[in-house]
């Protein structure tokens, strides 16, 4: 079972490259409103608890007794919360670049990261009033949910461009232009702002408490030492509450499986957890 990031990003078939398809059945789950999930970008009855229940309903629907759960970034958050509720249904848990749904991380990405990517942050906030720049996430959320259609599209484009600029600065590799249509991009950021503005409907303390409840689940965490999206500090915090987990640092690794070092580490973690069953 693959849990995508975002929230709101959706799955893609490239995720299948993480697995040995001759030996593994892979379920790509588009979370509520994301990807090919319908209705698209729906915010009604769409919170973290709903997604946890959806995962378990899907397992039951597919008649899968136990499965390996693989989650990256926000998907790692969701994976921990699901594992805490349904530990006996997991054969293992692979966590990549874990996000802890904290105010600290959100402030880092939208405000403090300006120190590393000043040009990107300048493009993100171009033309805004000083007050809007003081809380970038709130400003984007307001435009996305309450703005005119043009303001909504502009806010989604700004956010998408900022993410691409950060990724390019972090990896040193030019990010290819997104194939998402304007409508799909807007849907993604409507969902992402819905979750992030509500701190993903979970506190960091609740998440770490859940992490402690996964002690019976074989777990491997991988984290890049140069991850600017979900800082390496996250892995240290999480490891304190998951002493049973194996933490594998990816030296000079970043955040995305598009990074060859992260991809290799993720594939190895999946391989090792599969063979441990």
Q: Which two tokens stand for residue 127?
A: 């033309």
Return d(Cα 48, Cα 78) in angstroms, integer.
8
Q: Which two tokens stand for residue 250?
A: 């990816």
Is 271 a catalytic site residue?
A: no
Query: In this structure, is the dihedral angle defined by the CA atoms of residues 38, 44, 48 and 53, taken in order, positive or negative?
Result: negative
The single residue of 37, 73, 102, 193 carrying the catalytic annotation is: 73
Averages of pLDDT over runs of 10 residues in the chain (277 residues) are: 96 96 96 95 96 98 98 98 98 98 96 97 98 98 97 97 95 72 90 97 96 97 97 96 97 95 98 89
Q: What's the pTM value of the predicted model, to 2 decimals? A: 0.95
Return d(Cα 166, Cα 57) in angstroms, integer.
36
Q: Which two tokens stand for residue 275?
A: 């063979």
Is 272 a catalytic site residue?
A: no
Position 275 scores a pLDDT of: 87
The single residue of 4, 194, 223, 255 carrying the catalytic annotation is: 255
Position 16 scores a pLDDT of: 97
Is 227 a catalytic site residue?
A: yes
- CB 16, CB 26: distance < 8 Å: yes
Return d(Cα 38, Cα 32) in angstroms, integer.
7
- CB 200, CB 212: distance < 8 Å: no
């Amino acid at each position: 079972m693959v849990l995508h990031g975002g929230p709101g990003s959706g799955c893609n078939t490239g995720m299948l490259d993480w697995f040995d398809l001759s030996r593994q059945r892979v379920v790509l789950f588009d979370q509520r409103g994301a990807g090919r999930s319908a209705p698209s970008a729906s915010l009604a009855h769409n919170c973290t608890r709903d997604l946890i229940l959806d995962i378990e309903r899907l397992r039951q629907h597919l008649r899968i007794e136990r499965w390996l759960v693989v989650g990256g970034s926000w998907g790692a958050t969701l994976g921990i919360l699901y594992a805490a509720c349904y530990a006996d249904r997991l054969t293992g848990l692979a966590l990549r670049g874990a996000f802890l749904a904290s105010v600290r991380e959100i402030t880092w990405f939208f405000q403090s990261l300006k120190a590393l990517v000043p040009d990107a942050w300048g493009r993100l906030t171009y033309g805004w009033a000083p007050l809007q720049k003081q809380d970038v996430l709130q400003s984007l959320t307001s435009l996305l949910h309450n703005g005119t259609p043009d303001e909504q599209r502009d806010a989604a484009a700004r956010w998408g461009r900022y993410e691409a600029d950060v990724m390019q600065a972090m990896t040193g590799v030019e990010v290819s232009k997104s194939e998402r249509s304007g409508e799909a991009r807007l849907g993604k950021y409507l969902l992402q702002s819905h979750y992030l503005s509500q701190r993903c409907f979970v506190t960091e303390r609740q998440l770490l408490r859940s992490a402690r409840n996964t002690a019976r689940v074989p777990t491997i965490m991988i984290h890049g030492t140069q991850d600017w999206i979900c800082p390496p500090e996250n892995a240290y915090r999480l490891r304190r509450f998951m002493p049973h987990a194996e933490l594998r640092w990816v030296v000079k690794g970043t955040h995305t499986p598009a990074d060859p070092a992260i991809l290799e580490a993720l594939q190895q973690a999946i391989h090792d957890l599969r063979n441990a069953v």
